[in-house]
Amino acid sequence: MSATELAAAVAPARPERVRRFEARRLRAPLSVLLLLGLWAGTAWLLAAPRLFPGPASVLEAVVRELVAGELLFHLGWTLLRVAAAFALAMLVGAAIGIAMGRVAVLDDLGRPWLLFFLNLPALVTIVLCYVWIGLVEAAAVIAVAINKIPNVAVTVREGARALDKSLFEMARVFAVPRLAVLEHVVLPQLAPYFLAAARSGLALVWKIVLVVELLGRPNGVGFQIHSAFQLFDVATVLAYALAFMGVVQLVEWLGFQPLQRRLERWRR
């Protein structure tokens, strides 16, 4: 087959792939529009705007809180607590997971501890931290981190167990420095596990932070949701919840997804 014939045979395949890719990109926006339509339709059928407000009422509440300055203020406090607890949980949990994954004795000793903290209710941890430490920011951050550390440790431990031993042998034979081994052998293999722990961790941390704020903080999204609940203001409850969910989704799009593509370049 000549070069001209080959090009003619391959040419129609490219537009087909492009059309498929564009169709896949439209699925997510269409799904969101469907959800909004179902929400608006249900609100119209129920005709109870105070108990089940529609998208327009919730958007109005978002604008009202934004103009008043309340939304950004309380959202900022919640984000600070989420960032602090998330960082603490990832650092401590990753260290524990790597140690347990590489040292059998530590794994045997630490397994009962992990099972205990994995099954400890978040509410109990929050209450005990407030009782023992006090109604301060440190208690709030520690309570959230304690609930997330076991999950991070379990995920990273599995990654540490799955490390390719032949690569370590090769690095030893060629006398590769330890920092280079860490950078080029260990971290690339653990990257998917770190990313999985981070994604699940963020989803769990911000939910627990709301409970922490509801029980013992004078500000934050959880505090505002509790205040709106006392007034049976469902629109404001949904406004704060959706605003924070939007921020978390931005972190996924602008943070985790680009990071995943960068960390997985070595696989290509």
In a domain, 45, yes or no: no
Looking at the structure, tell me whether residues 27 and 85 fall in a common domain.
no
User: Tokens 């990071």 appear where?
Assistant: 259
Residue 44 lies in a domain: no
pLDDT per residue as tens digits for the range 177-194 = 778 777 777 777 888 888
Q: What is the dihedral of CA 41, 43, 47, 49, to 10 degrees?
A: -150
List pLDDT tens digits, range 199-211. Answer: 888 888 988 999 9
* Distance set, CA 181 to CA 158, 175, 186, 259, 265 (Å): 19, 10, 6, 21, 18
91, 179: one domain: yes
Residue 141 lies in a domain: yes
**110 within some domain:** yes
Do 240 and 117 belong together in one domain? yes
Q: Is pLDDT above 70 for 221?
A: yes
In a domain, 43, yes or no: no
Tell me: do 106 and 201 sit in the same domain: yes
Percent of the chain with pLDDT over 90: 45
Structure-model confidence comparison of residues 195 and 264, the more confident one: 195
Assess whether 31 and 133 both reside in one domain.
no
Which pLDDT score, from 0 to 100, does residue 186 have? 77
Same domain, 250 and 129: yes
Whole-number pLDDT of residue 20 = 66
pLDDT at 93: 94
Residue 51 falls within a domain, yes or no? Answer: no
- pLDDT score of 160: 87
Q: Which residues contact 48 (CB under 8 A, 6 or more apart)?
A: none
Give pLDDT, residue 224. 92
Reported confidence tier of residue 27, pLDDT bands at 50, 70, 90: confident
pLDDT band at residue 263, thresholds of 50, 70 and 90? low
pLDDT higher than threshold 80 for residue 251: yes
Quote the number of domains for the chain.
2
Same domain, 23 and 126: no
Q: What is the DSSP string of 102-139?
A: H-HHHHHHHHHHHHHHHSS-HHHHHHHHHHHH-SSHHH
Instruction: Please report the pLDDT score of residue 23 as a whole number.
Output: 63
Indicate whether 8 and 104 sit together in one domain.
no
pLDDT at 248: 83
Residue 32 lies in domain = 3-37
Same domain, 22 and 134: no
The pLDDT value given to residue 244: 87
Amino acid at 14: R
Average pLDDT, the chain: 84
Q: How confident is the model at residue 19 (pLDDT cuts 50, 70, 90)?
A: low
Any idea which of 16-20, 142-146, 183-187, 248-252 has the lowest mean pLDDT?
A: 16-20
Q: In this model, does residue 216 exceed pLDDT 60? A: yes
User: What are 40-91's pLDDT values in tens digits?
Assistant: 898 899 888 888 998 999 999 999 999 998 999 999 999 999 999 999 999 9
Of 206, 236, 207, give the one whose Cα is nearest residue 79: 206
Residue 240, in any domain of the structure: yes
Could you read off the pLDDT of 91-137 as tens digits, one per residue? 999 999 999 988 889 999 999 999 999 999 999 999 999 999 998 99
CATH number of 79's domain = 1.10.3720.10
Q: What is the distance between the alpha carbons of residues 90 and 156, in angstroms, rounded to a whole number?
A: 10
Residue 164 lies in a domain: yes
Let me know whether 16 and 92 are in one domain: no
Residue 31 shares a structural domain with residue 112: no
16 in the same domain as 144: no
